[in-house]
Chain A
């Protein structure tokens, strides 16, 4: 029994009944394959659950669509903050202070929630994979190819995103670029899917569109429970009041050297021992160098700022050090100057970081020497590290050797 139709051709477009729809002219029909090929799951009546119907799919699809869009937009936010195009960089805001922390917490929370939601959605529409004939027309064939693209992109996107939070990379392609472009493919596929299914979605949007089913309520309750369970046991890596329930997340915000997690250790960066003659070099109109002791004699400021990672974890700490704007001003650079910061580490994609003037001029942006009252541990960037509001963790450069005014 099938309480609703998936193709939505009959009940959803009353204007088409009576007059032949003009767009059908551009949609040449395809011949049906011979009937003897219709075997196995392609036969009618293979799937008997009453839940393979549009109302269930529309309800789960709404949740999944919302999760995927949040995931895409927060991912795009991270990309723009981390790797902005030249025209955007001077306009990146240093506020809200917790902007990056909240958006990237949401990115991973919505991505993890999308895992059970994708499972529920794809199970509910699974019989559509075996519809007969496989392609009624050219447009229908294209639409099904689009679905394949959408599903493949979403599955691989969720899989790579989940494993990246564990720093596990079993695939041969680079994670960041692939995850970024797959996000566009998945979102484009989703928009096309919404366009194609819009009449069906509209027809089943409201509860009165379909008879109530006890199985549907049970299924939706189970889906909600699955999303809730997954969220509760992982969201504690970014949401402070859920920390005690953080059972399966790859990070705990209070575990690490000095009570803070680390993304790249000093051993990995080759900066366990700092050269004895270390000096901070500041280049600008009036360049100068400072020893660690001299840095400590400059006016010190303490700020409460989170360190937040695209992998979803974040932790707040109290950082103490010299304001970046003071260092830059001392080099004779005017307000509105951007800087380039270079780390002691020999190599690594984030050895050199550029910071727009909006961050440099922010009174919360520090070259920190201490965290939570202690001298920075090697893993947290001893002798000095950058900490600024609303910035991706990888741009909070550790083991700083040089600050250079660039504009």
Chain B
């Protein structure tokens, strides 16, 4: 391919990208405008400032409390990719399951809402995922031991070795 063809192709790609961006921007602004006018004009939402308070509150709690907590834990307490991975899984399962655990007794007289033993199930899921994480950790340790012993085994592919060489070990938050 000549450089001329390549340059023409790059120019075309940039033009396409520009058009896509303009369309996305116009569509996005229109959709925001529609949502905002709907939220402010909805007859059932008598006080839209309530929604604003909850939206800003969520932002402040997430960005001002939750993520800083994660960063501090990641930087000073929690080490190793497997433990981190399990904590991520546990946090996700908790975010989804904790409301059910907290509300397990409140079905408003409808026994088919929240019918399960949620506290037990939540602990069960945490234990099961911890078990999987332990297996992953042991598998990693055995693989490393194999490699240290023989420097041959099927431990790492070419790609992984390349990764190991290139990057520093520091993995803090």
- A residues with CB within 8 A of B: 1, 13-15, 47-50, 112, 115-116, 119-120, 122-123, 126, 129, 148-149, 151-153, 155-156, 159, 162-163, 166-168, 171-174, 176-178, 180-185, 187-196, 198-199, 202, 211-215, 217-218, 221-223, 225-227, 229-230, 233-234, 246-252, 255-257, 260-265, 267-268
User: Among the listed B24, B42, B85, B167, which residue makes an inter-chain contact with A225, where contact means beta carbons less than 8 Å apart?
Assistant: B85
Chain A residue contacts of B70, Cβ below 8 A? 123
Which secondary structure dominates chain A's binding surface?
A: helix
User: With contacts A191-B31, A194-B24 known, is A251 near B113, CB below 8 A?
Assistant: yes
User: With contacts A156-B58, A166-B100, A188-B29 known, is A265 near B20, CB below 8 A?
Assistant: no
Give the interface residue-count category, chain B. 35 or more
Tell me the bound Cα distance from A119 to B95 in angstroms.
Answer: 10
Tell me the bound Cα distance from A247 to B44 in angstroms.
Answer: 35
18 CB < 8 A contacts A-B = A112-B96, A116-B91, A116-B92, A123-B70, A126-B71, A152-B55, A156-B54, A173-B47, A183-B35, A195-B22, A213-B167, A218-B85, A230-B92, A230-B93, A248-B93, A262-B110, A268-B108, A268-B109
User: Among the listed A168, A188, A261, which residue makes an inter-chain contact with B28, where contact means beta carbons less than 8 Å apart?
Assistant: A188
Least CB distance from A376 to B in Å reads 15
User: Among the listed A48, A120, A123, A168, which residue makes an inter-chain contact with B170, where contact means beta carbons less than 8 Å apart?
Assistant: A48
Tell me the bound Cα distance from A181 to B162 in angstroms.
Answer: 48
How many contacts A-B (CB < 8 Å)?
Answer: 254
Contact pattern, B 56-93, Cβ under 8 Å of A = 1, otherwise 0: 10110011000100110011000001001100110111
B17 A202 Cβ-Cβ under 8 A = yes
User: Among the listed A120, A182, A190, which residue makes an inter-chain contact with B39, where contact means beta carbons less than 8 Å apart?
Assistant: A182
User: Among the listed A1, A187, A233, A267, which residue makes an inter-chain contact with B93, where contact means beta carbons less than 8 Å apart?
Assistant: A233
User: Among the listed B27, B29, B32, B59, which residue makes an inter-chain contact with A155, where contact means beta carbons less than 8 Å apart?
Assistant: B59
Tell me the bound Cα distance from A180 to B85 in angstroms.
Answer: 34
Least CB distance from B106 to A in Å reads 7
B88 A173 Cβ-Cβ under 8 A = no
B124 near A: Cβ within 8 Å?
yes
Tell me the bound Cα distance from A189 to B27 in angstroms.
Answer: 10
Least CB distance from A251 to B in Å reads 7
Chain A residue contacts of B108, Cβ below 8 A? 167, 268
A221 B109 Cβ-Cβ under 8 A = no
B25 near A: Cβ within 8 Å?
yes
Tell me the bound Cα distance from A246 to B63 in angstroms.
Answer: 31
A222 B84 Cβ-Cβ under 8 A = yes
Least CB distance from B160 to A in Å reads 7
Chain B residue contacts of A226, Cβ below 8 A? 88-89, 91-93
